[in-house]
Structure 1
Amino acid sequence: MLLLAIAKHPPPFHNRHKLLCSKEIQQSKDMHKFSRRTQDILRTLVERYIRDGQPVGSQAIVRDLPFSVSAATVRNIMAELEGQGLIRSPHTSAGRVPTALGYRMFVDSLVTWSPMQDRDVSRVRKVLGPDKSSKELVESASRMLSELTSMAGIVLTPRQERAVLRQVEFLPLQGNRALVILVLNDKEVQNRIIQMPRTFSEAELQEAAHYLNQRYAGVDLLVARQRILGDMRDDKSNMDMLMSAALDVAAEAASPGPESGQCVVSGETNLLPIASEQGVDRLRELFEAFQQKKDLLSLMDGCLNADGVQIFIGQEAGFQVLEDCSVITAPYTADNGLVGVLAVIGPTRMPYQRVVPMVDLTAKILGAALKSEE
Structure 2
Amino acid sequence: MSSKPAEPHNSWNPRPTGEPGTRGDAAGPAGLDARSRQLLRTLIAGYIRSGEPVGSQVLARQSGLDVSPATIRNILADLEEAGLLSAPHTSAGRIPTARGYRLFVDSLLQVRPLPDAELARLRDELPAGFGTQALLGSASELLSAMSHFVGVVSVPRREQFAFRRVDFVSIDAQRVLAILVFSDNEVQNRIIHTRHAYESSELEQIANYLNHHFAGRSLADIRATLLSELRSDRTEMERLLSRSVELAEQVLVPGNDDMVLAGQTRLMGVQELSDVDRLRELFEAFARKREILQLLERTVQAPGVRIFIGEETGLAPLEGVSLVTAPYVAGGQVLGVLGVIGPTRMAYGRVIPVVQAAADALGDAFGRETRR
Q: TM-score range by the shorter chain?
A: 0.7 to 0.9
Mapped partners of 2:231, 2:280: distance in 1: 47
1:155 has 2:149 as partner: no
The answer (yes or no) to whether the contact 1:331–1:341 under 8 Å persists in 2 is yes
1:143 has 2:141 as partner: yes
1:329 has 2:328 as partner: no
**Which position in structure 1 is the counterpart of 2:17?**
none
Mapped partners of 2:82, 2:292: distance in 1: 31
* Cα distance, 1:74 vs structure 2: 1.6
The answer (yes or no) to whether the contact 1:197–1:245 under 8 Å persists in 2 is no
* Cα distance, 1:297 vs structure 2: 1.7
Partner-residue secondary structure (3-state), 1:181: strand
The answer (yes or no) to whether the contact 2:141–2:263 under 8 Å persists in 1 is yes
1:348 has 2:341 as partner: no
The answer (yes or no) to whether the contact 2:155–2:259 under 8 Å persists in 1 is yes
Q: 1:246 to 1:307 in 2, by over 3 A?
A: closer
Mapped partners of 2:230, 2:280: distance in 1: 46
* Cα distance, 1:63 vs structure 2: 2.4
The one-letter code matched in structure 2 to 1:45 is L
Give the TM-score taking structure 1 as reference length. Answer: 0.79
Cα displacement string for residues 113-142 of structure 1 (whole angstroms, at most 9, x for unaligned residues):
132233222211111234443432222111
**Which position in structure 1 is the counterpart of 2:13?**
none
* Cα distance, 1:280 vs structure 2: 1.8
Partner-residue secondary structure (3-state), 1:155: strand
Spell out the pairing of 1:44-193 with structure 2 (5 A cutoff).
44-159=42-157, 160-161=159-160, 163-170=162-169, 172=171, 180-185=178-183, 188-193=185-190
The one-letter code matched in structure 2 to 1:346 is G
The answer (yes or no) to whether the contact 2:327–2:334 under 8 Å persists in 1 is no
* Cα distance, 1:334 vs structure 2: 1.6
The answer (yes or no) to whether the contact 2:328–2:335 under 8 Å persists in 1 is yes
The answer (yes or no) to whether the contact 1:192–1:257 under 8 Å persists in 2 is no
The one-letter code matched in structure 1 to 2:166 is Q
Mapped partners of 2:175, 2:275: distance in 1: 42
Q: 1:147 to 1:197 in 2, by over 3 A?
A: same
1:277 has 2:273 as partner: yes
Mapped partners of 1:167, 1:47: distance in 2: 55
**Which position in structure 1 is the counterpart of 2:206?**
212
CA RMSD of aligned residues (A): 3.6
Mapped partners of 2:94, 2:34: distance in 1: 20
Unaligned runs of 5+ in 1: 1-12, 18-25, 236-242
Q: 1:171 to 1:114 in 2, by over 3 A?
A: farther
Mapped partners of 1:98, 1:249: distance in 2: 58
1:42 has 2:35 as partner: no
* Cα distance, 1:371 vs structure 2: 2.1
Q: 1:199 to 1:266 in 2, by over 3 A?
A: farther
Q: 1:368 to 1:184 in 2, by over 3 A?
A: closer
Mapped partners of 1:41, 1:128: distance in 2: 40
Unaligned runs of 5+ in 2: 1-5, 11-23, 234-240
**Which position in structure 2 is the counterpart of 1:238?**
none
The answer (yes or no) to whether the contact 2:177–2:192 under 8 Å persists in 1 is no
Partner-residue secondary structure (3-state), 2:153: strand
Question: Which 10-residue stretch deviates more, 343-352 or 282-291?
Answer: 282-291
**Which position in structure 1 is the counterpart of 2:18?**
none
**Which position in structure 1 is the counterpart of 2:193?**
196
Mapped partners of 1:16, 1:91: distance in 2: 31
Cα displacement string for residues 313-363 of structure 1 (whole angstroms, at most 9, x for unaligned residues):
112222222211111111121226353211111111000001101111111
Mapped partners of 2:281, 2:243: distance in 1: 42
The answer (yes or no) to whether the contact 1:124–1:362 under 8 Å persists in 2 is yes
**Which position in structure 2 is the counterpart of 1:299?**
295
The answer (yes or no) to whether the contact 2:170–2:177 under 8 Å persists in 1 is yes
What percent of counterpart residues are identical? 39
Partner-residue secondary structure (3-state), 1:180: strand
The answer (yes or no) to whether the contact 2:149–2:342 under 8 Å persists in 1 is yes
* Cα distance, 1:47 vs structure 2: 0.7
Mapped partners of 1:286, 1:263: distance in 2: 16
Question: Which 10-residue stretch deviates more, 55-64 or 249-258?
Answer: 249-258
1:286 has 2:282 as partner: yes
The answer (yes or no) to whether the contact 2:267–2:273 under 8 Å persists in 1 is no
Q: 1:192 to 1:315 in 2, by over 3 A?
A: farther
The one-letter code matched in structure 2 to 1:148 is M
1:253 alignment partner, one of 229, 251, 254: 251
Mapped partners of 2:272, 2:32: distance in 1: 34
Partner-residue secondary structure (3-state), 2:304: coil
1:263 has 2:241 as partner: no
1:308 has 2:304 as partner: yes
Mapped partners of 1:199, 1:88: distance in 2: 69
